[in-house]
Amino acid sequence: MIKDNFISDSKFTKLPPFHLFQRRDFYFLFDIKTSCFYKIEKLAYDFLKLSLKMEPQKAKQIFFKKNNLPENEKSSISESIDTLIKNGLFDSPDIKWDDKSFKKKIQSFNNKTITGLELMLAETCNLSCVYCFCKNQTNHSKSLKLMSKDTIKQALDFLFAHTTGIKKVQVNFFGGEPLLNLSGLEFALVYGTSLSKKNKIQIIWSMTTNATLITPKVIKLLEKYRIKLMVSLDGPRKIHNAQCPTKDGKGSYDIVEKKIRLLLNYKIPVSIHCTLTHPLKKLKPILHFFENFDSKKFEHVVIEPSINPSGKYTTYDLTEFDYQELKRQEQKILPLFLARNSKYKYKYFYDYDKLIKRILQKPTKPFFDSVRCGVIPQSLNVGVNGDIFPCNRFSSMDNWKVGNIFTGIDITFYHKFWVKNREILKKVCSKCWACNICRGPCPSEMSTSTGEFISPKRCQYLKDHIENTAFYLMMRE
């Protein structure tokens, strides 16, 4: 436990000088000032753990009393400790919340440049995934909420009217299930391509789909426009069928598997998204499932917990107990990743790659005076009626509406969004050792249906995930 003498409520918020953790029989130190991880010996771990409770020199005295060491070893350790003290390892780093720079930054936001657009082609689906936040996912009626061609045209016109100084944009088709609106998809591809040629700006197309409606016609579109796919597949047949049934309650695994193999045969770029739900399933069988599915052909495999905004929690979101069990299982399967390192890259089976990149960058400044992601103003989500939201996780939440493509964007929403988000980060992240690497939780995880942010519930899981990533990265080298 870190004592409060490392915490300050002054202008600078002090953190503990370093963080210690253990994985299996190995011990690690994270130097917060330099964002460097080190593998250390057990004796060093014990001393450093003690020094977080008291002054280093006093900790040194108690440490030597507890450990019966030869005099020459004591002398060597004592010199090493003095060197660490001299080099500033025990000095608490400061985090400066520069409000003036932050306000200047968000006031510079404008809607002149937008680099990405998410089109909710359909706000309904042919499946009834248990964890889905889509309003109509349990609607068994035949009425469909589909985006009209007029709205698609206006959205794409809006995008290209705000592409000042850029050479490419991203357009992602989302839902619901976007392939329920195949005519809308075809129109968007044709019209978007005409705008791309006219403005000499490349479009990178992508789509999130359950793959059940893939046909030869759709494959031709995917090939022609080089559309990258993110396909939902929640693991083995039993798990996927339970989590992703059809509207009449039947399993969807067989059709999804068939369509994924068809896509891979045509060399369509396919990434997989696997959702973990309550009650938490065993991870190891899920990993073996993807390994045996010929995962080397996948672009990426993301396995992550069901994450819904605070205002859209479902009974299938992971509980605190589930997260503790997930931590235990992750640690247990870490050797599996290391054993397969020579055969598969780390991008397969688990989403460690983003954290690995951040760890290797060794960020020495927190991310608080910037925005966490590009959802606004760089990228926007457009609902079927043209309403604009920060991203798909806020879709249909009226209190998070940015504007409408027919009437424009409320630019002050940007300012309010990040100011509110930052105020929560001040409370949550100021005393956290992982702030430089974590960069704060996803804003949608802290959002409520009333348009406010609240403290996130996944912080401990994210810190455990960073520790696992550091262990994996250091042990494979």
Query: Of the candidates 390, 395, 424, which has an alpha carbon nearest to the alpha carbon of residue 410?
Result: 390
> Model-level pTM?
0.88
Query: Of the candidates 153, 124, 154, which has an alpha carbon nearest to the alpha carbon of residue 140?
Result: 124
Which residue blocks in 141-252 are alpha helix, DSSP H? 149-160, 182-199, 216-225, 237-243
Q: Which pLDDT belongs to residue 370?
A: 57
Q: Which pLDDT belongs to residue 12?
A: 32
What are the CA-CA distances from residue 235 to residues 76, 204, 465 (Å)?
Answer: 53, 28, 21
Determine which helix (DSSP H) or strand (DSSP E) holds 71, and give its type and residue range.
helix 71-86
Q: Which pLDDT belongs to residue 142?
A: 43
Contact, 245 vs 251, CB < 8 A? yes
- Reduce the DSSP state of residue 174 to 3 states and report it: strand
Strand-pairing partners, residue 120, are 174
pLDDT in tens, the chain (477 residues): 223 332 333 333 468 899 999 998 999 999 988 889 999 999 999 999 999 999 888 999 999 999 989 999 889 888 888 888 888 888 888 766 777 777 777 776 666 688 999 999 999 999 999 998 664 334 333 445 999 999 999 999 999 999 888 999 999 999 999 999 999 999 999 999 999 999 999 999 999 999 999 999 999 999 999 999 999 999 999 999 999 999 999 999 999 999 999 999 999 999 999 999 999 999 989 988 988 887 678 888 888 898 776 656 678 989 999 999 998 998 888 877 776 654 544 445 556 777 888 888 887 665 555 566 766 667 889 999 999 998 888 888 899 999 999 998 888 888 888 888 888 888 888 888 998 888 788 888 888 888 999 888 888 988 998 999 899 888 876
Cα angle 353, 358, 359; round to 5: 95
Q: Which pLDDT belongs to residue 6?
A: 29
Rounded CA separation 424/404 (Å) = 27
Q: Which pLDDT belongs to residue 350?
A: 56
Query: Of the candidates 438, 409, 410, 440, which has an alpha carbon nearest to the alpha carbon of residue 423?
Result: 440
Rounded CA separation 47/58 (Å) = 11
Q: Which pLDDT belongs to residue 13?
A: 46
CA atoms within 13 A on the CB side of 3: 8
Cis peptide before 443 (omega within 30 of 0): no
Rounded CA separation 158/405 (Å) = 7
